[in-house]
Amino acid sequence: MDVYCPRCGEPYDLYYIQHEITTEERKDFWAGKGCQSCRGKEVAKRPFRAQISAVLRDVLGDDVDGIAAQTEDAEAMLGEGFWEK
């Protein structure tokens, strides 16, 4: 399942985020400080999927499986609206 950067909305596999990046990168990702795609760059407008990811993190906390599942549900419900920039 994918999770999305809370800053830029870039999709990442949950396993990758939890096991293949450094602890510092993981903490920054979940804290909304950015990912490999947006770290150190300006994000002019946060995509809707990034906003959803940030809200789910606030609501579900450290339940990353729940965040991934709820994000997948949101993508199914919203269709193309999920991918709008």
Task: Specify whether the CB–CB gap between 63 and 20 falls below 8 A.
Answer: no
Q: What is the pLDDT of residues 9-48, one digit of tens each?
A: 999 999 999 999 999 999 999 898 999 999 889 988 889 8
> Model confidence over 61-81: pLDDT tens digits?
989 999 999 999 988 988 887
Closest CA to 26 of 45, 43, 12: 12
CB atoms < 10 A from the CB of 25, how many? 16
Range of the domain at 53: 2-83
CA distances from 17 to 59, 80, 85 (A): 19, 25, 23
* 8 A C-beta contact, residue 64 and residue 83: no
**According to the model, what pLDDT value does residue 85 have?**
65
